[in-house]
Amino acid sequence: MTIEGNKDEADRCIEIAQNAFSAGNAEKAERFLLKAERLYPTARAKELLTRVRAAGSTGSVPKRTPPSSPSAEDIRRRKTPTHQPPQREYTSEQLEAVRRVKTKCKDYYEVLGVTKEATDSDIKKAYKKLALQLHPDKNHAPGAAEAFKAIGNAAAILTDPEKRKQYDLRGEEPAHATHTHHQYYARGFESDLTAEELFNMFFGAAAFPGGGPTVYTRRRAREPEPRDSHAGIVQLLPVLVLVLLSMMSGFFISEPVYSLSPSPKYPVPRETVNLKVPYYVKENFHTDYQGSLKRLEMAIEEEYLVGLKHACQRERNYRDSVAWKARNFGDSRHSADAQRLRMPSCEKLQQYQR
């Protein structure tokens, strides 16, 4: 049992002890306080234990008032009830299932409890079993929501052949000590679908009709390659430098010199000499702009290509998402449609890179 789990159990024991002491059951209160001390010693438990023992030795333990003669204090409490939400219960098996995923797994295969040779069918079967155990509407143990998301990520990555291949290759790299446990077994790979969306794909939206409102937020689709996380910043640096130089050479013009799309303010069309990238300038550009045209057009081309790369990545993410859904539902027609989806930004980018 981890320290975090011990602390949660100790807090529950203290709450039970407080309720028992208030009800006049000093023996039960002392028993649960001793258990709390064994699990996770705290000053709160020691102080309450001292009060319970002192009250027991002096015979001043609070007594239950017989139902036939309620005290004024009981009547006051009944009239002003505390509006505390009831504590949701969970079993030791549910808590252990959460702890296994959060603290004992070193990769997505162990998260799902399958081997690295597991087939697509094995992975889906393991996910379905764990999803029913860990869904937060059914499992109220601390950390159940995080564990539920982890098995969703594991199933999504391992049922995608390309991402599974990349994930396995990443596993051969040494882990860094600064990584959290989640970062270690995730290796930077997470699903573009939320845990709830993936669950609904397997079971339907009404799997737990009586469940509470569990809220999940959708992540923006991103490439699972953290090693290249600084590449975008490095690519943008030349753009920023060149734009800054062009602005400085133009005597600090407050407004942009150009626009990549036409507008009433930028009506005059132009194109760069090198890549023939279209751009638009103001009517007085020829007389007012005193900077280096070559540098300006280099910045325009760099900005245009970076924008194309981002648009191309979004198109690929969308196509992969459609293909993944079709593949997991066994819909060959939609899978073929996904492969035929046009990606105009990617096509333009290929033309410029030839």
pLDDT at 157 over 80: yes
- The per-residue pLDDT for range 295-320, each reduced to its tens digit, is 899 999 999 999 989 999 998 888 88
83: pLDDT strictly greater than 90: no
Condensed to tens digits (0 to 9), the pLDDT of residues 115-133 reads 999 999 999 999 999 999 9
| Rounded average pLDDT over 149-165 | 90
**pLDDT value, residue 228:** 54
**In a 3-state reduction of DSSP, which class is residue 220?**
coil
Closest CA to 249 of 302, 288, 300, 298: 288
Tell me the per-residue pLDDT of 219-275, one tens digit each, with 9 for 90 and over: 444 445 555 556 667 677 777 777 777 666 554 445 788 999 999 999 999 999 998
Per DSSP, what are the bridge partners of residue 280?
Answer: 259, 269
The sign one gets for the Cα dihedral 341, 346, 347, 348 is positive
Q: Is 275 helix (H, G, I), strand (E, B) or coil?
A: coil
Most confident of 34-43, 71-80, 318-327: 34-43
Q: What is the pLDDT of residue 259?
A: 92
Most confident of 57-71, 243-257, 336-350: 336-350
Rounded to whole angstroms, the Cα distance separating 233 from 25 reads 64
Helix %, strand %, coil % of the chain (to 5):
60, 5, 40
The three-point CA angle 347-351-354 to 5° equals 135
Pair 139, 100: CB distance under 8 Å: no
Stretch 140-156: mean pLDDT, rounded?
91
Q: Strands 278-281 and 258-259, how do they pair?
A: antiparallel
| Residue 151 CB partners (closer than 8 Å, separation 6+) | 101, 111, 112, 127, 130, 131, 134, 195
- 264/187: higher pLDDT: 264
What is the pLDDT averaged over residues 6-17? 87
Q: What's the DSSP call for residue 227? A: G
Is the pLDDT assigned to residue 142 strictly greater than 60?
Answer: yes
8 Å CB contact between 226 and 170? no
d(CA 309, CA 302): 11
pLDDT tens figures, 277-301: 999 999 999 888 888 899 899 999 9
CA angle (91 as vertex; 88, 92 as ends), nearest 5: 130
Q: What is residue 302's three-state secondary structure?
A: helix
Cβ neighbours around 124 below 10 Å, total = 17
Give the pLDDT confidence score for residue 223 in this predicted structure: 45
Of the candidates 142, 190, 125, the residue with the CA atom closest to the CA atom of residue 163: 190
Averaged pLDDT for residues 16-40: 88
Q: What is the mean pLDDT of residues 98-113?
A: 90
Buried b (16+ CB within 10 A) or exposed e, 30-67: bbbbebbbebbeeeebeebbeebeebeeeeebeeeeee
Residue in 117, 118, 103, 101 with CA at minimum distance from that of residue 153 = 101
Give the amino acid at 246.
S
Give the largest CA-CA distance in the chain. 99
Predicted local confidence at residue 222, as pLDDT: 46
Residue 119: half-sphere exposure toward Cβ, Cα within 13 Å:
3
Would you say 208 and 271 are in contact if contact means Cβ atoms under 8 Å apart? no
Average pLDDT, the chain: 78
| Residues in CB range of 332: below 8 A, 6 or more apart | 326
Model confidence band, residue 329 (pLDDT cutoffs 50, 70, 90): confident
pLDDT higher than threshold 80 for residue 160: yes
Task: Give CA–CA dist 8/3, Å, rounded.
Answer: 9
Could you tell me the pLDDT band of residue 8, with boundaries at 50, 70 and 90?
confident
Residue 131 burial (CB count, 10 A): 20
State the Cα–Cα distance between residues 60 and 54, nearest whole angstrom. 8
